[in-house]
Structure 1
């Protein structure tokens, strides 16, 4: 006997198949994909290897020849001296919540920070892990310090991991990593200087030793070189709307101090003339009502300049102003379009944008970056010297939800994936992605197709799925 639920499900499947399969129009769209074992991608990308050990990972960090990956079970340390074959070298058990594991693991290669249990249980704590495997008994990462009652969504190491700054405002003194100390709140210091947050802070990034940039709206550039417990606001980044900011990078900035733990030694000052012209910013949002809207969920470039803020102008620029206003030529933004995987899109999206990194050694006033974009896989984006953004490739793994993309060398990217663990992807910038109507690889030939579906189903179709936590 056919039940109402079965009839409803049958109708739903039939409708979905009708939307997916008919009618289609062939087109020579901007970037055509090739297909390989369990992935779709442009001809300049390849999925070389999947390591499912860390299924459930939300983030990682590459420091030197080590990759630090967190998942719900703990912290795994990989040797990536051969980027094409990451080798697990150590593990420490630090149970965490699914999808709430430490993202973009803060580390200087000697210690790493792993928060435990988020803010959803009464037994939260921040763990300091010794990851210098050669110095540890048995060659394993070891928890050497804990701070009970402290965990925030993300943390950032600063001043060579002698201090840390949390996404919700915490300041942690790590000068003795075996005894981490709660040293106050940087958000209170920002408020005391007359500033307020329009949207909450998701992350803090150390631009150069002792100079931090908050992923918030507005964004704040903080100087902690002299007074790490009371940051000084030395810049502000503004948007034309109240969009959510997830992560940021300011990739190139000239010479760095000889002692990153104490940047003031020998009178080091940032060489602002050497800094990249554009700040790179990613916004993340849940696709409600079912699709990433025009404001949130984009990757952006922000233009900046130093201005004189003295009451009596003396001609000395002392404050950084960052501006995102594409309509008036200040920066650009990029988002992929919904699609069918073959054309580089996704038939649904759970969140928009996540963690990204720039190609090592090749980014200065523009260059290439790799972005983890959930169900849209990894997006390779070229930033021009005028801040304009162009997609130059993409790879979407089957059954994946890509959280982060980390360059290891000029052509190898390692990803952290909520479902798959770690993927090893290669990108060949000498190969132009196919831009023809037909694509041929051994045994496979297909046309790129654009789905023609009723406009009223657009949001419903692209939003099908359940959101994941950010």
Structure 2
């Protein structure tokens, strides 16, 4: 295959996770990745010189055959009711994982991180086989990576801090990768977008919503963070960025950091960020509680639904904390009706694990009257917090390790939540008022970003270790 080298220096990205607290850790991860085997390819002309990228390179991946480098020696650390299967160390710097099913019962895992993108055949989940890679040393960040399983596309959000740039002047955008043949990945297009920390499919992947991070120096001075920008990808070779931003005024009337989007099973697109959570309808004729009328929702002109701002109990003000991601279960939990609670990650790094960001469970019940869009500092609206959970002082935790909450997955009333250096904890949330840990897995030296179920196996994106593969056994152990 033809491969051209990207002219990218491994300049440390000026952020780790969503803050600077893990900068040294990720510098080390980048150094390990740079020393690994493999051919650097022209995934796009990203990061050359001034950080400009046009995504028009051939983008052929580095096709790989043969067995993976699965390490099966269990790490030191702590675990309860979790069986270690293996580790993929070549994916050090991993930030997110997603999956696409192919004909012949083939299942493919895509891993994104500071290295770019890697694909693996995981038809046998315990024995992943590497297929291809698009190598972008210094790429950032693409948390919560999304895919289009129908058109076989992978979306990569380029943060302005990628390739040694910074939030004030760096370029942000989105790469669309053609994964029709997962052993031969190609960059289909690159589009500059005014936001780029995350990007999420809405309306069946006909559009992307890109958000974050903090503002560029050319953006409005009264913005404290970047809102959402919609990208029309009905033609993925020629994406079109919508002119007008979405989710403005999210923090008591101030436009702030719209961090990520999760679309629930009812089709509501929930935006997490500074100032809490806000849900939007993106299609259909819906009641608009702000305009007090029915109107047709779209991905570029969504209709407000519900949400609001809230506080972690040990925070007098919102401070540096961030509503990072959420899930709104559409089944009843405990005494709460379906769709009336949200489980929310607060990402916040303080001087102590005791006060770091936690899992919060909040009550959405009375927030459907547009209150979040009318809230101000003078007349604030706040969501009630039902409960909080932190690994601080819990079995399996490690004193001194980073323990802010991060991404999670909910299944059968159990939340698998990653907490950076504290590993991944399995929390029974069937009673929202009393979340209870039932299992955990923590590898010494690890930095868990996000867990992903594949059948009874779980893949964990770890910024320091790559990808860990485990099997939770709490169900059969009672």
**What's the TM-score bracket when you normalise by the shorter of the two chains?**
0.5 to 0.7
Contact 1:61 1:105 in 2 (8 A): yes
| Equivalent residue in structure 2 for 1:238, among 282, 285, 309 | 309
Does the aligned pair in 2 maintain the 1:96–1:117 contact within 8 Å? no
Partners of 1:113 and 1:203 lie apart in 2 by: 14
Structure of higher RCO (CA pairs closer than 8 Å, 6+ residues apart) = 1
TM-score normalised by L of structure 1: 0.66
* Residue 365 (structure 2) aligned to one of 305, 315, 331: 305
Q: Is the 8 A contact 1:112 1:128 kept in 2?
A: yes
Select which of 133, 142, 159 maps to 2:203: 159
TM-fit CA distance, 1:140: 1.5
1:41–1:412 distance in 2 versus 1, CA, 3 Å: farther
Asked whether the equivalents of residues 427 and 438 of structure 2 are also in contact (C-alpha less than 8 Å), the reply is yes
Q: Who is 1:212 aligned against? A: 269
2:238 to 179, 193, 205: 179
Q: 1:93 to 1:37 in 2, by over 3 A?
A: closer
Per-residue deviation, residues 378-430 of structure 1 (Å, max 9, x unmatched): 11111024442111111111221111111112x31101111110100111123
Q: Does the CA contact (< 8 Å) of 2:176 and 2:190 recur in 1?
A: yes
2:438 paired with 1:406: no
User: 2-side partners of 1:125 and 1:349: how far apart?
Assistant: 33
Larger Rg: 1
State the partner residue of 1:56.
93
Q: Does 1:108 align with 2:148?
A: yes
User: Any residues of structure 2 matched to 1:355-434 within 5 Å, and which?
Assistant: 355-359=407-411, 362=412, 367-409=413-455, 411-430=456-475, 432=477
2:352 aligns with: 291
Alpha-carbon offset, residue 209 of structure 1: 6.7
Looking at structure 2, the residues matched to 198 and 299 of structure 1 have their Cα atoms a distance apart, in angstroms, of 24
Q: Does 1:128 align with 2:176?
A: yes
| 1:256-284, Cα deviation, whole Å (9 max, x unpaired) | xxxxxxxxxxxxxxxxx984442111111
Instruction: Tell me, yes or no, if the aligned pair for 1:55 and 1:421 is still in contact at 8 Å.
Output: yes
Structure-2 change in CA distance of 1:389 and 1:274 (3 Å): closer
Q: Say if 1:370 and 1:407, in contact at 8 Å, map to a contact too.
A: no
Confirm or deny that 1:221 pairs with 2:302: no
| CA RMSD, 1 decimal | 2.9
Deviation at 1:40, TM superposition (A): 2.9
Structure 1 unaligned residues grouped into runs of 5+: 1-35, 255-272, 311-320, 326-330, 434-470
Check conservation: 1:406, 1:414, Cα contact below 8 A: yes
**1:308–1:157 CA distance, 2 compared to 1 (3 A):** closer
- Measured after TM superposition, the shift of residue 221 of structure 1 is 0.7
Q: Which whole-Å CA distance do the structure 1 matches of 2:439 and 2:202 have between them? A: 33
1:87 Cα deviation after fit: 2.3
State yes or no: 1:354 paired with 2:432. no
The CA deviation at 1:200 is 2.6
Q: Residue deviations 1:9-60, cap 9 Å, x none?
A: xxxxxxxxxxxxxxxxxxxxxxxxxxx8313333411211001121011222
Contact 2:359-2:405 within 8 A present in 1 as well: yes
* Aligned counterpart in structure 1 of residue 186 of structure 2, from 142, 145, 148: 142
The runs of 5 or more residues in structure 2 that have no matched partner are: 1-72, 102-106, 213-227, 284-296, 312-316, 371-380
**TM-score after normalising by structure 2:** 0.65
Distance change >3 Å, CA 190–CA 253, structure 1 → 2: farther
CA 1:356–1:308 in structure 2 vs 1: closer, same or farther (change >3 Å)?
Answer: closer
1:349 positional shift: 2.8
Number of residue-to-residue matches in the alignment: 344
| 1:333 is the counterpart of 2:375 | no
Do 2:306 and 2:368's aligned partners in 1 also have CA atoms closer than 8 Å?
Answer: no
Partner of 2:243: helix, strand, or coil? strand
State the distance in 1 between where 2:136 and 2:266 align: 28
- What is the alpha-carbon distance in structure 2 between the residues aligned to residue 354 and residue 430 of structure 1? 24
Q: Distance in 2 between matches of 1:377 and 1:307?
A: 33
Aligned: 1:248 with 2:248: no
Distance change in 2, residues 1:195/1:163 (3 Å): farther
